[in-house]
């Protein structure tokens, strides 16, 4: 049938040449005819008729017929055949057979021709998925590897061909076979296939150098030597001189280095070489070719599954992962070297944070367990060192988290100076301050320690967030400021407009909700660049993206002066939402993976409020945090619906006159949520029990007036006002009204 079908296709193309190669000259009647005529029915050419008469049945035949019809200009008939494929639903083997015969290009063509949509795309997706599933099928590939031992020459040849066709999908099963002593007789054949795979096998083989199976590693080294892999050199110099390497691995590595670079380096040469490469990679030197979005493909070895894993990651992440791998080799060469140990720990912690996500815990990772096994003094060293290295921010976060598993001794000062974890509370990045605060709260110190005041300050600042996306705008020109604010508001931001430097600073420092700052080069005093420097020196704004709205004539100068500040973007003033959206994207992109979402800030605020409430509830244990000094900053949080309940609990524990008055006033507002009003009443009762009634006589009388006017209110409101009066009257039953607390 297939052979007959092919003959028919050949015949159809021949007929097509004859039917299209000669045409009659137009007659006079043709020339004089009316140009507007009714469309004539399509008359199938001989080639089209041949295709129809061939009656294709298999997926391969139908796919080929559809492609020929497209070439003949009959997309309408090709569409019919493609629809037939969807109705018939060929099995995976049929799709694979079509792919083997005609390749992927034909399906991509179906997917891109507009006249075939949406059917063409659906057929292409079905076919390519079936082909991908077939290529990924490890059972099939394992069977092919077993088939390499067949007594039948034809079967062995077929297995080799299929394994080569599987390309990178065959590498892991082949590597697994290389580590299986039972398949030692096939090692030579497997090696030949992996070498033949060339570019598909080199990267997974480089990853496999991390295997702990010495026989497998030695085989991998020999394969990389045959592939003439220059990338393998940096990964082989460590094992070739390491005392931990087996003789088999050392011998293979030495032979590889002689082949690749001409000699085996000495221990000192290896250390110097590795140190230089690590410094380059940690500085962000790209090690692989990037795509348009700065992404690269890096293969790593999964020790649990014993497989090479393909990762599509950022270029900087790939460089850091390789640096961590080299730092491990360097540390093994001299575990007593403090610099090597630090490089090993901080690159390992940075890498695990990169791969797992900045906001994800690392406690259960192998890297964390290794770091903890070395001891907290080494983790403190990492924290102290990386806090001075902006490009190791992820390692700083990891070290803060690990120190949160220590006891209170980790906070005991030396010579009265704060320890690294307490110092991290004053770091210039919000995420580090949060990580340090979270860890100290977990450690739960109940005695003063150097730097303890910074914890309450950090928690109060964290608690100020409500989940809004606040942008602070500094613009002396009122009309421009209002226009810019309106554009931000339209995009879902909450703009705060200021017209001078001092109000700009006050607004920028006022809340953790501030997501970015934009100010004009027309701010009055200090000048724009000085304003920028002041914002960068304050820890509350040091890590925020800042847009410097510049006049055209100043733009080049500002770009030059801020070139070393990746969080600052000099920009021309936007005049519509499209232009502003581009500016916002540029600013947010500057923070990269360290961008803090409004939802994260809100969640951090809730955690901070809980910690502050716990501190204020037990002054015997936590009085050294001196939360009363922060009462003025905490009470405004009652007004935010997102934090009212937690803020009420905290205000009740503070129990100051202002706190009691704020609780009573909010509870008395009938427009508030019942849950919030009840929380304020409960907190007021707590405050009165804790410190007595601290309302003035005027405020007490005002509360009686509210109650007397509540006759028309709902029962819940009446009960709330009644409970407030009960709380007021209970401590004053035996007290004269001329007491200081009850006088104006």
Does 8 lie in the same domain as 127?
yes
The residue out of 83, 117, 136 marking a domain boundary is 136
The residue out of 542, 572, 594 marking a domain boundary is 594
CATH number at residue 474: 3.40.50.2300
Q: Decide if 465 is inside a domain.
A: no
* Burial class, 28, CB count within 10 angstroms (exposed 0-12 / middle 13-18 / buried 19+): exposed
Q: Decide if 491 is inside a domain.
A: yes
Mean pLDDT value across residues 671-689? 93
Least confident residue range of 306-310, 480-484, 535-539: 306-310
Q: What band does 617 get if pLDDT is binned at 50, 70 and 90? A: confident
Q: What band does 28 get if pLDDT is binned at 50, 70 and 90? A: very low
Per-residue model confidence (pLDDT) at position 145: 73
What tens digit of pLDDT does each residue of 375-395 get? 999 999 999 999 999 899 999
The span from the CA of 220 to the CA of 229, in Å, is 11
What tens digit of pLDDT does each residue of 445-502 get? 999 999 999 999 999 999 999 899 999 999 888 888 899 999 999 999 999 999 888 8
Average pLDDT, the chain: 85
The span from the CA of 352 to the CA of 137, in Å, is 30
Does 730 lie in the same domain as 652?
yes
Q: Decide if 445 is inside a domain.
A: no
Mean pLDDT value across residues 406-427? 93
Per-residue model confidence (pLDDT) at position 54: 83
Does 586 lie in the same domain as 631?
no
Per-residue model confidence (pLDDT) at position 384: 96
* Burial class, 213, CB count within 10 angstroms (exposed 0-12 / middle 13-18 / buried 19+): middle
Per-residue model confidence (pLDDT) at position 731: 72
Q: Decide if 404 is inside a domain.
A: no
- DSSP secondary structure letter of residue 735: S
Per-residue model confidence (pLDDT) at position 735: 53
What tens digit of pLDDT does each residue of 198-251 get? 888 888 889 989 988 898 899 889 989 988 999 899 999 999 998 889 999 999
Does 667 lie in the same domain as 590?
no
Q: Decide if 396 is inside a domain.
A: no
Name which residue leads in pLDDT, 118 or 290: 118
Range from 78-82, 90-94, 407-411, 642-646 that averages highest in pLDDT: 407-411
Q: Decide if 34 is inside a domain.
A: no
Tell me what percent of the residues of the chain surpass a pLDDT of 70. 91
Does 7 lie in the same domain as 124?
yes
The span from the CA of 488 to the CA of 584, in Å, is 10
Residue 434 confidence (pLDDT) above 90: yes
Alpha helices (H) in 137-266, listed in sequence order: 138-147, 153-165, 171-178, 187-197, 199-208, 214-226, 233-241, 247-261
The neighbour count for residue 517, using CB atoms within 10 Å, is 27
**pTM (2 d.p.):** 0.75
CATH number at residue 111: 1.25.40
The residue out of 88, 104, 136 marking a domain boundary is 136
Residue 691 confidence (pLDDT) above 50: yes
Per-residue model confidence (pLDDT) at position 15: 42
Coil, strand or helix at 520: strand
Does 481 lie in the same domain as 560?
yes
φ and ψ at 549, to 5 degrees?
-75, 115
**Per-residue exposure over 160-182, b if at least 16 CB sit within 10 Å of its own CB, e if not:** beebbebebbbbbbbbbbbbbee
Q: Decide if 226 is inside a domain.
A: no
Q: What band does 38 get if pLDDT is binned at 50, 70 and 90? A: low
Residue 19 confidence (pLDDT) above 60: no
- DSSP secondary structure letter of residue 672: S
- Residue 660 tokens read as 């009691």
Q: What band does 414 get if pLDDT is binned at 50, 70 and 90? A: confident
The neighbour count for residue 77, using CB atoms within 10 Å, is 20
Residue 739's contacts (CB-CB under 8 Å, 6 or more residues apart) are: none
Does 635 lie in the same domain as 587?
no
Least confident residue range of 64-73, 126-135, 359-368, 572-581: 126-135
Does 484 lie in the same domain as 582?
yes
What residue numbers bound the domain in which 96 lies? 2-15+44-136
**Into how many domains does the chain fold?**
3
Q: Residue 194's closest CA among 221, 214, 158?
A: 221
Q: Decide if 69 is inside a domain.
A: yes
Length of the chain: 744
Does 588 lie in the same domain as 630?
no
Mean pLDDT value across residues 283-310? 81
Name which residue leads in pLDDT, 93 or 362: 362
Residue 17 confidence (pLDDT) above 70: no
Does 558 lie in the same domain as 636?
no
Query: Under a CB-based contact definition with an 8 Å cutoff, are residues 67 and 73 in contact?
Result: no
Per-residue model confidence (pLDDT) at position 32: 47
Residue 430 confidence (pLDDT) above 50: yes
Per-residue model confidence (pLDDT) at position 16: 39
CA 401 centroid distance within chain: 18
């Amino acid at each position: 049938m297939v052979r007959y079908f092919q003959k028919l296709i050949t015949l159809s193309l021949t007929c097509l040449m004859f039917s299209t190669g000669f045409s009659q000259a137009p007659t006079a009647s043709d020339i004089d005819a009316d140009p507007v005529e009714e469309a004539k029915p399509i008359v199938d050419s001989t080639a089209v008729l041949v295709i129809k008469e061939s009656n294709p049945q298999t997926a391969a035949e139908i796919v080929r017929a559809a492609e020929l019809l497209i070439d003949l200009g009959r997309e309408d008939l090709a569409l019919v055949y493609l629809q037939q494929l969807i109705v018939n639903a060929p099995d995976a083997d049929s799709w694979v057979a079509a792919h083997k015969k005609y390749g992927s290009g034909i399906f991509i063509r179906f997917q891109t021709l507009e006249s075939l949509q949406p059917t063409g795309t659906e057929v292409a997706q079905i076919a390519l998925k079936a082909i991908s599933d077939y290529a990924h099928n490890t059972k099939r590939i394992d069977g092919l590897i077993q088939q390499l031992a067949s007594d039948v020459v034809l079967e062995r040849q077929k297995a080799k061909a299929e394994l080569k066709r599987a390309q990178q999908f065959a590498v892991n099963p082949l590597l697994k076979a290389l580590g299986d002593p039972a398949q030692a007789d096939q090692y030579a054949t497997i090696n030949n296939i992996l070498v033949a795979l060339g570019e598909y096998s080199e990267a997974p083989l480089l990853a496999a150098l991390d295997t702990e199976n010495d026989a497998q590693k030695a085989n991998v080294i020999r394969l990389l030597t045959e592939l003439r892999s220059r990338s393998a050199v940096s990964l082989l110099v460590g094992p070739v001189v390491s005392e931990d390497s087996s003789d088999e691995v050392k011998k293979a590595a030495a032979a590889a280095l002689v082949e690749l670079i001409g000699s085996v380096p000495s221990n000192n040469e290896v250390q110097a070489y590795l140190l230089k490469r690590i410094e380059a990679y940690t500085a962000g030197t790209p090690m692989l070719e990037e795509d348009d979005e700065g992404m690269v493909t890096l293969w790593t070895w999964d020790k649990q599954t014993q497989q090479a894993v393909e990762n599509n990651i950022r270029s900087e992440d790939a460089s850091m992962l390789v640096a961590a791998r080299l730092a491990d080799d360097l540390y093994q060469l001299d575990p007593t070297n403090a610099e090597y140990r630090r490089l090993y720990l901080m690159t390992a912690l940075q890498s695990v944070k990169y791969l797992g996500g900045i906001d994800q815990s690392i406690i259960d990772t192998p890297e964390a367990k290794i770091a903890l096994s070395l001891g907290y003094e080494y983790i403190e060293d990492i924290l102290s060192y990386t806090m001075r290295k902006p490009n190791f921010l992820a390692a700083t976060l990891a070290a803060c988290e690990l120190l949160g598993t220590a006891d209170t001794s980790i906070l005991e000062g030396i010579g009265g100076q704060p320890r690294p974890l307490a110092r991290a509370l004053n770091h210039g990045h919000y995420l580090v301050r949060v990580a340090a605060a979270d860890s100290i709260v977990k450690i739960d110190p109940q005695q003063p320690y150097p730097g303890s005041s910074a914890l309450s300050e950090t928690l109060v600042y964290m608690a100020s967030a409500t989940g809004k996306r606040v942008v602070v705008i500094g613009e002396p020109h009122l009309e421009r400021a209002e226009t810019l604010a309106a554009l931000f508001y339209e995009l879902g931001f909450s703009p705060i407009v200021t017209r001078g430097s001092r109000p700009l600073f006050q607004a920028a420092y006022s809340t953790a909700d501030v997501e970015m700052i934009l100010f004009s080069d027309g701010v009055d005093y200090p000048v724009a660049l000085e304003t920028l420097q002041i914002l960068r020196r304050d820890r509350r704004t040091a890590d925020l993206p800042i847009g410097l709205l510049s006049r055209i004539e100043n733009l080049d100068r500002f770009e030059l002066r801020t070139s070393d500040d990746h969080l600052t973007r000099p920009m021309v003033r936007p005049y519509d939402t499209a232009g502003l959206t581009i500016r916002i994207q540029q600013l947010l992109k500057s923070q990269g993976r360290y961008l803090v979402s409004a939802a994260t800030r809100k969640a951090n605020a809730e955690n901070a409020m809980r910690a502050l409430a716990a501190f204020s509830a037990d002054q015997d244990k936590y009085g050294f945090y001196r939360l009363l000094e922060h009462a003025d900053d905490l009470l405004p949080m009652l007004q935010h619906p997102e934090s009212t309940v937690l803020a009420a609990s905290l205000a009740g524990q503070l129990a100051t006159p202002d706190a009691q008055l704020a609780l009573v006033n909010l509870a008395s507002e009938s427009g508030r949520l019942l849950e919030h009003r009840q929380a304020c009443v409960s907190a007021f009762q707590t405050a009165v029990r804790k410190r007595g009634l601290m309302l003035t006589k005027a405020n007490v009388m005002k509360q009686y007036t509210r109650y007397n006017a509540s006759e028309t209110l709902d029962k819940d409101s009446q009960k709330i006002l009644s409970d407030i009066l009960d709380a007021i009257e209970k401590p004053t039953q035996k007290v004269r009204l001329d007491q200081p607390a009850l006088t104006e």
